[in-house]
Amino acid sequence: MSLCFALNHGVVTTPLAVATTLLPLETANFGNGLLYAVTLLSSLFLGAPTVSKLGAKGGLVFGMFFYCVYIGFFALALSSGDSTQLFFTIGSACGGLAAGVLWTAQGAYFGSSATQLSNSTGQTREEATAELSSQFAFYYLLLEVFSKIGFSGFQALDMQVSQIGFIYFAAGLLSLIGMTQVYEFRSESETPDPLSKALAAVSLWSDPALWLLAPTNLTFGFCAAYMNGFVNAKYAAQELGSEYVAFLGAVTALTAAVLAKAYGPLAAQMGKGPIIVTGAACAFAIPALTWQGCAGWGWLLLSLYLLQGSFRAVYESTNRATFSDFFPGAKSEGAFANCMLQSSLGFATCFFLQNSFSATQLSTIVLVLALSTPLGYFLATSLRSKESKAQ
C-alpha cells in the first residue's frame, strides 16, 4: 500500500510545486488554493462516508483515481494556451476531491494496520503507530523525491513540460492499478448510518483536544504553501532558475524521508512532544530567515528546503501517529478527516492570500502558527491525562 500510495502521491505533488513557475502566477495560485478549498470540504463531508461505504482500500482507489484526473488535466493545461486556466481549474477541483477521501482512507488503513500489528506482536498500539508512521512516511516521501528529481531531469533534457505531464499521468495510472491489489481490511461490524459517517468529522469538534492539536496541521499547510508558492516563485525561480524548482522540492522530500525514519524511533523512546517542538522550531526558522528577503542567496536557499523537510517529517510521521493515539478505533476516520481539513485550510488560505498579502504579512502568520504548535500539543496531552485519571 505504501509503495502504490507513494508513486501516486509523488506524481501529483510535483505539479503542485512547479505550477507557480510553469503557469501564469495568478492561475497557479487560484488553482492551488481551489484544490485545498475543495479538499477541506471533501475531508469534512465526503471522506468518512466514502471510506465507510467502500472500505479503506476502496477509499484509497477512489482518491487515487481522481488524483490521476488531476494530473491529466494539469498536462492538458500545459499543452493548451487559451484553455490553460479552465483545464487547471477543473483538474484542481478533482485533486481536492481526491485528497479529502484519500487521506481519510489512508488514516483508516493505517489505524487498522497498527491495531493488527499490535495484536499480533504484543507491541503497545503507541509503539505500533510510531513504527508504521515512520515506515509509511519514508516510502512515500522517497518516491516523491524520485518524482521531483525526474521532473527536473526531463526538463534538463529539453523535453516539453506537457510531455512530462503525460508521462506522470501514466505513472499515476500504474500506481492506481497496483492499489487495487493490496490487502483489504474487512469490518465485522454493522454498516453504520451514512449520515452519521458524513458527520464523523463534525462529531469530534466538541473535543477540545482536536483543536489543541490543530496548530501543527495549520502551520504545516500554511508554511508548505508559503514555500511552494511564494518562495518558489519569488526567490527560487529568480535566484536559481525555474528548472531547479522541482529539484528543490525533492530536497525537501528527501530530507523528510530520512528524518521520518529517525523521528519514529525517537518518538517511541522520548515521547512525541520533543519531536513536535523540533518541527515547530524548523517552521519558525523559515519566515525568520526570509524576513529581509533572499536576494543574492543563490544555493543558500537550500537551507529553507532542508528546514521544511524536517518539519514535514514531523507532520507526516509523528503528527499522524499522535492523531491515531488520541483518536483510536471508530474515531480514526473522523480524526484523520479533521487532520486533512485543518492542513487544507492552511494551504488554501495561504495560496489565496499570496495574490494580495506582502511577504512580511505571510511570514508573520507562519511565525504565529509555529509558536502555537508546541503549546497546543502539550495542552492536549495534559487534557487527555486528566481525562484518563478521572476515568
Write down the domain spans for the chain.
2-182+205-386
C-alpha triplet 164, 168, 169: angle, nearest 5°: 115
Residue 90: the pLDDT is: 94
Q: How many CB atoms lie within 10 A of CB 182?
A: 16
The phi and psi torsions of 271 (rounded to 5 degrees) equal 95, 160
Q: Give Cβ neighbours of residue 232 (< 8 Å, ≥ 6 apart).
A: 17, 18, 20, 21, 245, 248, 249
Q: Which residue has the cell 488554493?
A: 33
Query: DSSP readout, 222-265?
Result: HHHHIIIIIIIIIIIHHHT-GGGHHHHHHHHHHHHHHHHHHHHH
Q: Which candidate, 315, 345, 335, places its Cα nearest to that of 40?
A: 345
Q: Is the dihedral of CA 180, 185, 186, 191 positive or negative?
A: negative
CATH of 2-182+205-386, one of 3.40.720.10, 1.20.1250.20, 3.40.50.1820, 3.90.550.10: 1.20.1250.20
Residue 187: the pLDDT is: 62
Q: How many CB atoms lie within 10 A of CB 26?
A: 12
pLDDT single digits (tens) 92-109: 999 999 988 998 888 888
Residue 22: the pLDDT is: 84
Contact between 204 and 334 (Cβ < 8 Å):
yes
Q: Which candidate, 197, 8, 11, 224, places its Cα nearest to that of 104?
A: 197
Cell of 163: 510531455
As a whole number of angstroms, the distance between CA 50 and CA 9 comes to: 19
Residues of the chain with pLDDT under 70: 81, 187-198
Residue 195: the pLDDT is: 58
Three-class secondary structure of residue 356 per DSSP: coil
Cβ-count burial of 290 within 10 angstroms (0-12 exposed, 13-18 middle, 19+ buried)? buried
Q: How far apart are the first and last CA of the chain?
A: 37
As a whole number of angstroms, the distance between CA 341 and CA 334 comes to: 10
Residue 327: the pLDDT is: 86
Residue type at 360 in one-letter notation = T
State the helix-helix crossing angle for 332-353 and 214-225, rounded to 10 degrees: 40
Contact between 321 and 187 (Cβ < 8 Å):
no
Cell of 122: 504484543
As a whole number of angstroms, the distance between CA 200 and CA 214 comes to: 17
Residue 153: the pLDDT is: 87
Give the CA distances from residue 344 to residues 32, 42, 80, 90, 347, in Å, rounded to whole numbers and listed in that order: 11, 10, 28, 18, 5
Please give the radius of gyration of the chain, using alpha carbons only, rounded to the nearest integer: 20
pTM: 0.73
The phi and psi torsions of 127 (rounded to 5 degrees) equal -65, -40
Contact between 215 and 373 (Cβ < 8 Å):
yes
Residue 370: the pLDDT is: 95
Residue 196: the pLDDT is: 62
